[in-house]
Structures are given as C-alpha cells and as structure tokens.
Structure 1
Amino acid sequence: MSKSLCFVPGKYVPLSRFILSGGSEPIALPVTRAVADYLKLHNAELLLACLRSGEVTFHRAAWSTLREDTVEAENADGTQNSEEGVFVLVSPLLTNTLPVVSHWDNSAAEGKGGFRYGGTDGIGTLRMDEAGEKVVAEHVVLYNNDPDSPYVYNTEDYQLFGSNEGDKALKTPQFERYIGDRYSLYAVDDLVAISLSDRILKTFGYPVVFCNETADDGALLSNAPVFQLISGSLLVTKNGQHSLASYILPPNWSAKNVKGYPLLFNGYYDANENTFSTVGPSFLEIIGKTLASTGKGVVGVLWNGEGYIGSRSLQGSIYAGIGTAIAKGQDSYGGDAEQVVAVGGSRGGLTALLAGGNPLRLPYRVRYTLCYAPPLILNGLTREFAEGACPLIWHVAEVDTGYRDIWKKDWRHPQTGRSGIETLLQTLTGAGNSASLRETTGLESDFFLDGLKASGTKLLINHGTHDAFTLSRFSFAFAALVRRHGIPLRHEIGYRFGHNNCTDLYEQAALCLKAILQEQELEFTGTVHYRRRSPAAGEWEQTERFVPVHQPVFLEAPKFVAVGSPVAWTLYGEPGMEYRLELGILDQQAWEQKQQVVRNECITLASGVLPDKQHPLELCSWQDGVSQLADGQHAGYYLYELSYRLKGEQDWNVVSPSRVPQPGVEPQAVLRILEEQPNPASEAFRAEAAVLCISSGLSEA
C-alpha cells in the first residue's frame, strides 16, 4: 500500500487533492465546481503548497485558461524541478484553527498537567499510522505502574479529577466525578485533521474547515462549500456539571437559517477521540450523504457523555448534559431541537436511549432513537454472571471504579464497605443495587418509560447474542417492557454477533434524517432476525436477514470457571420448550492435541421446561440458572451438550456443539474448569474469554 500524500500546508485548508508531480510537466490541480465557484466569487488569492525534501513552500497560482476548474502555477519558478514534490491548492480565504483544542495543559497543576481552557496538550496523542491511513492513539502513562498500589490510575503524575481541593485528592472516579469530563485525554496531531479533510473532500467534493470554540476563534463561514468542525465546546449545566461537545456544520451552512437543520446526536467517550477517530468521520459521511440525497443540511453533535472514564452515561446529571449539548446545537448553529436523531453503539447506544427518553421533558425532541448493543445488564447485574457469561464486566468494573482488585470475592470498598458490584453501580448510577434503579430512575423505571412514551420517539434496539458485556435476556425483557408501554420499537437480533452490529447504525441514521427532511415517517415495528451469511471464520461479520420457523434456541454460558465456582447460564427458546443442558467430560490430553475424545460420562447442569410468556408481546422465553458442580469436580475440559424438544413434538433436537459464537477459535463449545480463578479484568483473560467482544455458548442460528 502506497503512503498517503497528505501533509499540513500551514494554517491553510487544502482545497484540492494532493498530487505528486515533478520534472518538466506543468503543475495542474483540478478543483471541484463548488469550491472553484466560491473562490472565483470572492476573487480569492490562489497558492500551491508544495512539500519537497521535508520543507513546505508556497507558490502563486492562477486559473487555467485551457481547462475548466483547474489551477496552474503562475510561473515555473520553484514549482518545476527534477525532484518530485507533493502539491495541493490553498488560499488565504480559507484557514484552519490548529492545533485542535483539548483543554489540557501539561504545565498546569505545578507540572502534573490538568484542565486549562484552550489548552492543546494531551496525556496521549492521536496520530496517523505510518501509511497515513488510520488514526492511532498513543498513550502516555495514564495507568499506575506501582504493582503494590490498589489504584488503577496514575494520579501522582496527572491531576485527573478537577482543580478544587477535594477533587485534587481523588484517586479513583466517583459518582459524578469522572476522568475526561471537561478535557480530552488526547492532543490531536495536525495531520489527523488534514487527513480527515482530504478523505471527505475525495468523497463529497467539500473540504473540512477546523475551528476551536475558544475565546479567540474566528467567525463561522456562511454559504461556503465546506464542512465546518468546531471542537472543544465546553458545556456547563445549571448544577455545575461539565462536559465537552464538537459540532459539525454542513456545506453551505447559513447563520440566517434559524432552526433550519435537523440535529444528529451521539454521546460516546473522549471528546477528541470521538471527533477524529471513532464517530466523527462517520458523522461527516452521514451529513455528506444526506446533503447529496436531499440537497439539505444536517448539524452534527458529538458529545462526551460528561466523562471518558468512569461514566457510562448513566449518572443523574446526564439529562441536563444532553439538553445542554442539544440546546447549543440549536442556539449557536441553527439546529432544530425538535428534529433530533440520536444514534450510538455500546455506551453510545445507552446515551441515545437516554436522550430519546428525555424524562425531564427538556425542550428538545428525539424523533428517532437508534441504540446498537446497549449494555442493559445494569438492570440486573449479579456476580455469578459477571464471572461467567459476561467476561468483560470485571474489566469494566476495574476501569470505571479505578480499583485493581475489585474482581476478588472478598474485596470491599475501603471507605463504604460495598462489594465490587455495588461499588460499580454506585460509581455509574449513584445507586448501590439494580432493584433501587428499577424503582427510581433506571431504564426499567416508570420515571424513564413514561418519559420515553411521552417523547413520541421511535426506538430501534439492535443487539447481538453472546455479548461479552451483557446478556440477551436484558434486551428481550426491555423490548417487551417498552412494547407494553405502547412505545414504537424495532428490535434487531444478530445471532452470535456479540458486542458487534449486524446492521449499519450510520446507514440507519441517514435514512432517518432523510425521512425528516422529506417530511416522511419511518415505521419502527417488529422483530428482525440476522445471522452469519457464511460459516467461514474470516467472514463472520457478513450478515443475512432470515425468518425463523421458531425462536432460535441459544445458550449464553461461560468459557472458564474455577474449581468450586458455579456455572451461570441462560437458555433461550420457545415457551414450553423442554431442555437438557449437560457437560460431556473431554479427555484433556486429547483435546490439547486438537483431538476430541468424549468419555462415556456427563454432568447434568440443568433440565426443565422454559416458562410461558408473561406478556403476549414478549418475543421468546428464557431460563437462567446458577449450577453448582459437584464437590471434587476436577479441572479440565468439558463439552456443552444442549438438546431440546418443542411443545407438542415427540423427538428431541440437538444443537450442534460446533455452533459456537466465537469465530475461528475452538471448533466446539467447551467449558474449561481451572484450578484457580484467573484475574477476569486482565488483558490475557479478556483475549481468551471475549474474542471480538463475543462470549461463549451455543446457537442454532
């Protein structure tokens, strides 16, 4: 793969593609019609920026008299040389404000580094990879290297939690006190911004102009054929909670177009990483596609959810933060707060759901709420499932609470005495258990569901079975609860997709925006099933929609447990379905030599009948269980064996042990019983137990 030609032409916005040229050939750069017309309208000065031998120089240019919308060098001096150079068109008419603001200053807090409005440093840096194709995050030492410390984060070298005396002393995230709330952890290398603009220019014909929303930023451009990306908007709610947002303005945006643009909203993690890596490029593409298909613009809102680390957008102040971010999009950038599409995956899916619910009845309306892989497990998190079928939960607990040993059974919070699960819930939500959330402000509470119904939003939930962060039963239960409340819902299920998407969330967002702009309504109803199109491990992400004859049977169960620990499992299928779940004892030596030898004995984990539906709108039935293995059960390898019989049938059906969720790992569904409990928060454990964020078990689909 050839290396990208992009370079940073000083303060100027690149207005053409970068081309490699040299020798006696004249330099000629084609320009898109929209950009050419704008430059001619303003009689703009034209320059060719040239990178040669590591040095950037600028040369006067003019419109070609022979080729339409093409710029040529005014003379040969300095632009023609036997040595090759890379050229791009720029103009003093269009300039960037770089570097991108982070609001972090390495010299603050007596050299520890900390928040400073307008700062452009970072604990880490976003850079382009060597090929110039991908954004990579380079971390400095955010984590504590002292092996004897109980704390995860390096608060000795960084002031992570604010500037008042109480916050300075914090060692760990607390409820409503999170890392990266008012600053980004990442500085942004200028080439990252220029490369993003080049990508968008190639796709849509419009470059991106980068601005910082600080006290000294310049005026926004009206009626210009450019995207405008405004970084570092510091938002403060009435109760003093801080957050950051970036805003994307469409080409030909006009300051006079008051409430003229639908808002595309997302709330994810770090502000600069969201904007320049994980979400921002896709938002630019959605806005570009929508403009191309409708001729109308959309304003994008990229919000950090009031914190990068410690927050999963479930804290009490989240609604005010969402409202503030959306209000800014309307008041400053012409967005229409009554025409919002909220979209996101994982934590972003939770944030979208909360935005759509709007239980405080704040002055905005989310028309379409698109939630992909939202981890709804907090509706009923228990230790047994955290140790088994949800192998990434203890990693979440360690990262979000800042305590290294939180996964241990005997761990207790040093001040409150709470258990690990209780401490995680307290940090994220302010409540110590799931039951109190259901009774007060949680996603299953009347407070939230009444708001979701009153908002009039149309809801899409897309979840993959065998999600290493959560269990499918929480998505099924929430879907049934939503439908019982009369809320329009489309439920998409991707069998064996784990914490990954079986449909494209951004394509769906583009369809919703198009419907709003064309004054149409999309129907969000029904349950839609997706499965892998190909059995090949390398093609596991390819999907196909299918209509099952009956609810596909699947099992979510652990891949590893320690001797003496229970096996926590959940089985899904038709109501009234009989089932047998067993473990076949494998010959350990044969299995390790990639041979399968099942001994003539097995262990029954569970058998029974799946319960009837509690409500007609429930999609399927499920049964969860915590099966304690017999005393003296040895470490080794065990094969999951699942059979079932539907109501009214005579014959038993066997789910093939080869129908494993994780692609290309084990050929069959195996439970490994270990001599000792490994650290489930460790990188080594996660690499084995949660391949591609997919957990273990079986699935006939």
Structure 2
Amino acid sequence: MNRNFLLLIFLLQISMIIQPVIGAFHVFIPERNIPISVFIEKTSGTSIELAVKKEVLQGIPAESIKIACKSSDSLVYYNPTEIDVAGGKVKHNNLSANGKFVAITTVWQNDFPIVTHWDQSLNSGRGGVRYGASDGIKEQDLDANGNVVYIDNVFDTNHDSPYMYNTENYAMIADDPLARVPSYEQYIGENYSLLKVGDTQALEIADSVIKNTGYPIIFICNTGTNSDVLLTEGVPAFQHINGLLIGSGTVYSLATVILPPYWDTAPAVKYPVLFHSYYDLNEDAFRLTETRSYCKVMGNLVNAGIGSAITILYNGGGSMATYCGNLSLYTNVKLLLNAAANYLGADKHSIVASGFSRGAYGPMLYAGAPERSNAFTIRYIIAECGVFYNGQWSYDTAPATHPNLAYAAGYLNGYKFSWMSSWRDPVSGMPGRDLSLLAMFGSTNRVYADNRSAGSLEFINNMKAQGTKLILINGTHDAFKAFPQVIDFMEQARGAGFTVENYINFRTGHNITGFIGDPVITDRFILSEKILSNEFAGHGYSVTGNTFYIKRKIEREPLGEYISATPQHSPFFCEVPVLALVGEEASLTVTGQKGWDYKLAIQKINDAEWVKDPKWIGENVVREGSEIVLMQGTLPVKLGNESYVHQKMIVPEDSVSGYYIYTLYYKEHSSSTWLKVNEHQISHNIFDGGGIEDKKRYAVFQVRTFAEIGTLPTALDVRALSDNNICFGLSEY
C-alpha cells in the first residue's frame, strides 16, 4: 500500500489525540463557583488585581466575590481587600501567595459535570440512556498545560469487522441496544450525547467568553426532566442550559439554549433566535466553536446597547448516522421552538440560522418543509457547505473523487465497506447507497429523497413564500459533494424567483468559516451579527442575489490569503479522483463559463522519476506517450454563468497502474486557441508529502488495483484521501 495512504490510515485510528495549545494556560477548577474574571498567573509581588466587568460587579452581592488561587495541588479562597465597581477591579493588596488566580462569585454555581444522559453501567456495561448521567463514548478535556485530550471509542477499529460503529462494546442505538447498525428513526445519540466534557474544558470556554464579552457564563444542566432546570432572570451573565429533551414517545432529540445577559422571561421585545442545528450536542457546544462564537455575537449586541438574542443549539435528531431525512425531526423542531417562545421569551418568527454541512442544510429543510405549517419563521439562513440533494446525486458521485462520501455511506448505514460498488447488505442484499437512503428517508426511492431535500422546488418555493433570505457559502472542491449541486440549486432558485446570495470559494473544501477565506466576507458569525444589528436598527439585511468569487490573493500561496475577485468569465475547475481503483467507480466534473468549450485530459508520467523526489513536489514530471482525453465538449447554457458537465465511469480493468497527470483546457466556443489551467493550481494532493501549502505541486494522481493496495480500504481509510475535507482537482482560480 502507498506509504502516505498507510500513514493517514494509521493517524485516523489513533484513539487519543493530544493537541498543544498556544500560550500559557491558567485555567483551573474553582469547584462549582462561577469565574467572573479571566484566569491569570501571579509569580511575584504582594498584591493582585483582577479585571471584572463593571456591570457584573453591580449585579452580584459583594460578599459573594472571592479570589480563588490554585497553587500546586491546593485551592484557596481569599476575600478581596477592595472591590472597585466603577473601575471594574477586584483587588487584594496584601497577598504574597503565587499561582493561578481568578475572581469568582458564589451566588451562582455551575452544574458540573456536564450531562450526556449516557450511563455506561447499563446494558451489562455497554451503556444506555439515563437522564442526568454524564458518562461518554467520547471524552474531551484539557490537561494541566492546556493540551486537548480527546478519546474516541465510537468507531470499530477492527479492520476485519464489517461494522462502522463500535456497537459491540457500546449500545449506541438507544431504542434497540442489541442493534449493530442504525436504521430509519433509530440513530446514534438521539437523546444522549456521545461526548463527555471535562470541567476544565468547559471553564476554558467560559474564560474565552469573558475575554470576548466581559460577561461570565453559568453552565446549567438538565439532570432529569426539563422542568427541573432552574433559570434566573436579570443576571449579568450568560446561562448555558445543556441537555434539554425535545420530543415525545420514543422519538426524542436534544437541545442546548444559551440565554443572554439580563435575560427576562417577558421582555418588552421578544428575543430573536440564533439557531444552529448540527450533530452531537456536546460536540457542538464544547468541542466546536459554537458556544464561544455565539456568545461573542450576543455579547457584542448587548455591549453595544443594540439588543439581545437567544441561541439554540439543536442536535438535528441525532449525534451520528442521520442526515435529517426522518419525518420526526420536523415535529421536534416545532416543539423546541414553541417551548422557547412560551418559556424563554423567544420570537419563533425571527430566526437567524447558520451552520456548515448538516448545520447548513438542516435549516433549509426546516424552513422549506411543508410540515413547518407556519409554526415558525426562519428569516435568514447562512448555509456553509451544505448538501442540496440526497437522492440521485448520491448515486452519481463516486468516493474516489469525493472521498468523504465513503465515510458518509458507512456513517448512514453502519457498514464500513459499503462505499464499494460491489458491496451488498448481508441481511437485505441491498447495495450500500440503497441502504443509506433507506436509513435516511425510510425509502430507497431517489425521486422521493430529492423531493425531500433542500434543493427541491417545493422546499425552495416554501422558503421563498415565508420570506427567507438565503446566503450560500461553498468551496469548489468539497469532499462531501460535487460542486454542480450548488449550480443545480441556484438554477432551481433562479427559476422560482427566489433570491439567493452565492459565495464561491475556489480551491477550498467542506469548511470555510474560521479556516479559509476572508472572514469579513464569509464568516457566518460575523454575518449573523450584521444581520441582527440591521434588524434591531429596523432596516433588515439585504440579500443581493449576486454571485461572489473568493480566490487566493497570490496564486499558489498558503491558505488564508483570500480576496474577492471579479473574473472576466466563470473560472474553470475540475473535480477528479486522487486515487483511481481499477474496477471501482470514479466521477469526473468540469465546471466553468456556460457556452464555453472544455477538455479534460490525462497523461502517463514516469513512475521512477516521479518518486525520486523525496518531497513529492513534482520536479521530475517526465511525461510518457500521448494525452488521453477523458471529457471534451461545450458546457450547457444555464440561467447563471456557471455551468458543468458530469460523468461517472468504472475505471477500466486494462488500465495501466502508476502515476498520471491531469490537464484541464478551456476556450471560448468561437476561439480556436485552447487555454490551459496552471498545472500547479490544484486543490490538494495527498501524495505530495509537502502539505497543502506546497507551491510546486502538480495535478498527479494514481491508478492502482486492489491487489496493489493490499488491505481492503474501509470507509475511514478512503476518507483519509481527503485533506482538510478538500477533494482533488485543478482550478483556474
């Protein structure tokens, strides 16, 4: 097996990952008391001063304020000698002790540990649901130096086992503890969270919230039924209510609600809702950036005196194995938003939803589904890297080109080899794609699946009818979907008269915000804050209906250097396999200016010369023989400028193994001169060894037989071909 392929497989199978953090780490656990300042370290002197927001000091009893000190293994509390409310300072002027310090209040308490509703002692040690429990199948915390310690026992790491999930040791399907694979309406983590969150991890998030906004955060957990949760009105702090149960009967899901400082059950103006619907609830709140980022948005609004909002994080019906095709989801979303309106003062008809991946298309489904029945209104959706069609496109796109689709297959149907076209379900005899569709929609009918997808005409018309303003942010090389899905959606929207603002990020993949692109342009949290600021000002946020192009500032420069661009024509790019397996499916896509000509070709290169380069950066590209044209023609005319051609093929049995190079040509239809995309301008190349920032990469890929690879690749192995969720291909931009 290829050395880089083996290395990536090995990395994916590590169960504990420790990632270093930048800078000194001062967070410690002051029992369940609430930090009201940032954590600092004192190494000398006889006094200490801790900055606390003036409004926080005004809102809590002075006698509740202490200075907590962690030195070696001891935790000591000191009464401050001075509390300067006007200056926002908590001081001790005669303190010789050194160590880590934080100002705390005893008037509120954190509900630690954070609940998961998972009790590992149930089902003979395989675990099960018990509301208020706090065990986990995954765990995340920070060590004393601030390094992230992450343990993941979700996947079955025995290569010879057919199962994707570690259901032998964990009863992950709560409705059927003996089940080995998920099925329709029986998913993983519907009414529990997979992730056990350490107290230090939660407090590090609290520390960052104070740094960003000045306000502390109180972690409140649902330890039984939702009625057990006690909230406090008017406090100068965020209230983070975790593990709320949504649903009835046997179909439950979970939500976390973040209330703003000074929250009131009966506000003069109801709170607009910042809504995010992703996967595992605790992963969303504590491992990703959502709590930090949404608190920053809410805090900025409060600090500017503009207004307040409530944030709702929803698990979308399950932690894993669900892509929001199940009908119970829509009932639970209505129950969730009705409860927020009835008990929390939320305006369920003023929702700003944002998210990426499932967090992007989930809100489009909720807004567009006929089941919504005007029960709530999603006024804005910022959809980053969402999937628009889960029916026919899931059959037309091959994992060799979009490697994360192999993961998606096993993720949905629970079998790690189901990505292969020859695989069949041992129970029903179904192909993997059919089984995935059945688990998602309860049907294998592709037309039904597309009609229940965000890009269906019915869903688009419903979004238009309720006045939803939609902002799309997508990368051209998304390892989860072919870019033509974006074009098909935009064509449907334009045809229906639905105005959509469309951002195309070139040579990027399945993650944009906080990683790639100009944050002022495409950061969904900044956009959410702009939208609410405009709404509070009374003039709303305009969606233009234009397409915006985001490219690298300098060609072949490292990630992050991106700017807006105004091209003379829609730029050409292709999505192609990085590893073509003989006898397996591959899909080819060319996208560019409608009505222009294209040609996608490959050529064999000398294997020995190529691998001589220790960094695999392609200095020794020695071409052999003639070019082989894979696709050639004229791009169809569309309503928009972007057009595409797409083709799925089986890699021929007589293919010659080895290394090949792609070349992408394009020209105006009336021209006789072909232009060529720079062969260095690729999205990524897993075989270059020099990393994604290497400036000398070539569009080289491999053709291999299964025998040459050796071990049969699992869904996770194939996903390893994707670097940062980016699929392979050339791009003019």
Give the TM-score normalised by the residue count of structure 1. 0.92
> Which residue of 122, 141, 145 maps to 1:131?
145
**AA of the residue aligned to 1:676:** F
The aligned counterpart of 1:602 is 627
C-alpha change, 1:31 and 1:383, in structure 2 (3 Å) is closer
Q: Distance in 2 between matches of 1:628 and 1:23?
A: 70
Are the equivalent residues in 1 in contact too, given 2:410–2:715 (CA < 8 A)? no
Output aligned runs, 1:364-375, within 5 Å.
364-375=376-387
The aligned counterpart of 2:317 is 306
Q: Deviations over 1:198-228 (max 9, x none)?
A: 1111221111111112358563222221111
The aligned counterpart of 1:485 is 496
> Which residue of 479, 494, 498 maps to 1:468?
479
The aligned counterpart of 1:442 is 453
Output aligned runs, 1:165-180, within 5 Å.
167-180=176-189
Q: Deviations over 1:629-651 (max 9, x none)?
A: 66633101111122222122232
**AA of the residue aligned to 2:719:** R
Are the equivalent residues in 1 in contact too, given 2:322–2:412 (CA < 8 A)? yes
> Which residue of 403, 410, 416 maps to 1:391?
403
The aligned counterpart of 2:110 is 96
**AA of the residue aligned to 1:462:** I
Are the equivalent residues in 2 in contact too, given 1:563–1:634 (CA < 8 A)? no
> In the alignment, is residue 696 of structure 1 matched against residue 718 of structure 2?
no
Deviation at 1:137, TM superposition (A): 2.9
C-alpha change, 1:631 and 1:173, in structure 2 (3 Å) is closer
Deviation at 1:282, TM superposition (A): 1.4
Are the equivalent residues in 2 in contact too, given 1:263–1:329 (CA < 8 A)? no
Are the equivalent residues in 1 in contact too, given 2:409–2:715 (CA < 8 A)? no
The aligned counterpart of 1:80 is 96
Q: Distance in 2 between matches of 1:441 and 1:669?
A: 37
> In the alignment, is residue 676 of structure 1 matched against residue 706 of structure 2?
yes
Q: Distance in 2 between matches of 1:112 and 1:565?
A: 37
> In the alignment, is residue 667 of structure 1 matched against residue 683 of structure 2?
no
**AA of the residue aligned to 1:625:** Q
Deviation at 1:66, TM superposition (A): 11
The aligned counterpart of 1:226 is 237
Q: Secondary structure at the match of 2:35?
A: coil
> In the alignment, is residue 241 of structure 1 matched against residue 276 of structure 2?
no
Are the equivalent residues in 2 in contact too, given 1:391–1:680 (CA < 8 A)? no
> Which residue of 719, 722, 726 maps to 1:686?
719
Q: Distance in 2 between matches of 1:66 and 1:127?
A: 34
Q: Distance in 2 between matches of 1:645 and 1:410?
A: 39
The aligned counterpart of 1:350 is 361
Output aligned runs, 1:563-642, within 5 Å.
563-565=582-584, 567-594=586-613, 595-613=620-638, 616=639, 618-626=640-648, 632-642=654-664
Q: Deviations over 1:75-121 (max 9, x none)?
A: x5xx534xx22222223212222111111112222332210011112
Q: Deviations over 1:461-499 (max 9, x none)?
A: 111111111011011101110222222210111111121
Q: How big is the alpha-carbon RMSD for the aligned residues of Structure 1 and Structure 2?
A: 2.4
Q: Secondary structure at the match of 2:231?
A: coil
Q: Secondary structure at the match of 1:697?
A: coil
C-alpha change, 1:626 and 1:158, in structure 2 (3 Å) is closer
> In the alignment, is residue 518 of structure 1 matched against residue 525 of structure 2?
no
Unpaired segments ≥5 residues, structure 1: none
> In the alignment, is residue 5 of structure 1 matched against residue 31 of structure 2?
no
Deviation at 1:259, TM superposition (A): 6.0
Deviation at 1:179, TM superposition (A): 0.7
Q: Distance in 1 between matches of 2:668 and 2:183?
A: 48
C-alpha change, 1:314 and 1:293, in structure 2 (3 Å) is farther
> In the alignment, is residue 267 of structure 1 matched against residue 277 of structure 2?
yes
Are the equivalent residues in 1 in contact too, given 2:280–2:315 (CA < 8 A)? yes
Deviation at 1:301, TM superposition (A): 0.2
Number of residue pairs aligned between Structure 1 and Structure 2? 682
**AA of the residue aligned to 1:33:** K
Q: Secondary structure at the match of 1:174?
A: coil
Q: Deviations over 1:157-198 (max 9, x none)?
A: 2221125xxx12211111111111100111211111211111
The aligned counterpart of 2:554 is 534
Deviation at 1:294, TM superposition (A): 4.3
Deviation at 1:609, TM superposition (A): 1.8
Q: Distance in 1 between matches of 2:651 and 2:165?
A: 38
Output aligned runs, 1:491-510, within 5 Å.
491-501=502-512, 502=517, 503-510=522-529
Are the equivalent residues in 2 in contact too, given 1:379–1:443 (CA < 8 A)? no
**AA of the residue aligned to 1:45:** S
Q: Distance in 1 between matches of 2:582 and 2:279?
A: 37
Q: Secondary structure at the match of 2:64?
A: coil
Q: Distance in 2 between matches of 1:291 and 1:600?
A: 67
Are the equivalent residues in 1 in contact too, given 2:594–2:636 (CA < 8 A)? yes
> Which residue of 114, 127, 145 maps to 1:113?
127
The aligned counterpart of 2:689 is none
Higher mean alpha-carbon deviation, 468-477 vs 504-513, is at: 504-513
C-alpha change, 1:275 and 1:387, in structure 2 (3 Å) is closer
Deviation at 1:43, TM superposition (A): 4.7
C-alpha change, 1:627 and 1:581, in structure 2 (3 Å) is farther
Identity of aligned residues (%): 28
Q: Distance in 2 between matches of 1:31 and 1:567?
A: 58
C-alpha change, 1:171 and 1:358, in structure 2 (3 Å) is same
C-alpha change, 1:472 and 1:159, in structure 2 (3 Å) is same
Structure having greater relative contact order (Cα 8 Å, sep ≥ 6): 2
Q: Distance in 2 between matches of 1:686 and 1:397?
A: 11
The aligned counterpart of 2:463 is 452
**AA of the residue aligned to 2:309:** V
Higher mean alpha-carbon deviation, 496-505 vs 177-186, is at: 496-505
The aligned counterpart of 1:544 is 563
**AA of the residue aligned to 2:150:** A
Q: Deviations over 1:407-440 (max 9, x none)?
A: 23332122322111111111122231432323x4
Q: Distance in 2 between matches of 1:497 and 1:52?
A: 46
Are the equivalent residues in 2 in contact too, given 1:22–1:80 (CA < 8 A)? no
> In the alignment, is residue 317 of structure 1 matched against residue 328 of structure 2?
yes
C-alpha change, 1:113 and 1:54, in structure 2 (3 Å) is same
> In the alignment, is residue 28 of structure 1 matched against residue 40 of structure 2?
no
Q: Deviations over 1:604-640 (max 9, x none)?
A: 2122222222xx3x33221112356666331011111
The aligned counterpart of 2:18 is none
Q: Distance in 2 between matches of 1:28 and 1:285?
A: 25
Are the equivalent residues in 2 in contact too, given 1:299–1:329 (CA < 8 A)? no
Q: Distance in 2 between matches of 1:68 and 1:583?
A: 68
Are the equivalent residues in 1 in contact too, given 2:139–2:151 (CA < 8 A)? yes
Q: Deviations over 1:236-260 (max 9, x none)?
A: 14x6421111111111112231762
Are the equivalent residues in 2 in contact too, given 1:480–1:619 (CA < 8 A)? no
C-alpha change, 1:536 and 1:698, in structure 2 (3 Å) is closer
Q: Deviations over 1:131-180 (max 9, x none)?
A: 32x655322x33335544322223232221125xxx12211111111111
**AA of the residue aligned to 1:414:** P
Deviation at 1:592, TM superposition (A): 1.3
> In the alignment, is residue 256 of structure 1 matched against residue 273 of structure 2?
no
Q: Distance in 1 between matches of 2:430 and 2:479?
A: 25
Q: Deviations over 1:357-388 (max 9, x none)?
A: 24222411111011100023524235563233
Q: Distance in 1 between matches of 2:605 and 2:104?
A: 68
